[in-house]
Amino acid sequence: MVADSNIIIREATEKDIPLINQLAHTIWTFTYKEILSPAQLDYMLGLIYSEASLQKQFSEGHNFLIVEEDKKPVAFADYSLLKDAVYKLNKIYVLQNLQGKGIGKLLLENVVKRVKAKYATALLLNVNRYNKAKQFYERLGFTVISEEDIDIGEGYFMNDYIMSLNL
């Protein structure tokens, strides 16, 4: 479990863009293989995790966090101000062999702590309607507030629940 591990959560910088890209490719391939077609998976990875896209996200005020276990990167998250005192958890991913061991919970709790320090009143997130992570978020207090279908181009859609955690 996490308590026995050497875990560090650190703020990422633009120098970490290649690392975030690599983690995303490794994690997404496993996480979405039964939800998305290989073509949509490749399209979305290029759209969201190309170096240019990640650079743009940094410049738009996204805050990336990297989790290292024994000095090895194993997870990442990204959050940003949405409006007023409402923040959005844009991404949270843990390497598949470490899922279920408390790292995702620790990382999410760290994000909550950081946004509370900025006087956030809520943390929102989108989760694919077929992603088992929905139950993870519910266990941590998030509730579904709506659904949305987002046209991301090339005929692909993200079919998501919008979830909220009141802070």
**pLDDT the model gives residue 83:** 95
**pLDDT the model gives residue 46:** 95
Residue range(s) defining the domain that contains residue 87: 2-166
**pLDDT the model gives residue 65:** 98
Number of folded domains that form the chain: 1
- Closest-CA residue to 158 (of 148, 166, 167): 148
Domain of 41, CATH number, reads: 3.40.630.30
**pLDDT the model gives residue 59:** 98
Regions in the chain scoring below 70 on pLDDT: 1-5
Question: Would the pTM count as exceeding 0.85?
Answer: yes
Condensed to tens digits (0 to 9), the pLDDT of residues 97-142 reads 999 999 999 999 999 999 999 999 999 999 999 998 999 999 999 9
**pLDDT the model gives residue 56:** 98
**pLDDT the model gives residue 3:** 53
CA atoms within 13 A on the CB side of 100: 3
* Token code pair at residue 98: 């470490």
Cα dihedral across residues 52, 55, 60, 61: positive or negative: positive
**pLDDT the model gives residue 2:** 58
94 phi and psi, to 5 degrees?
-125, 140
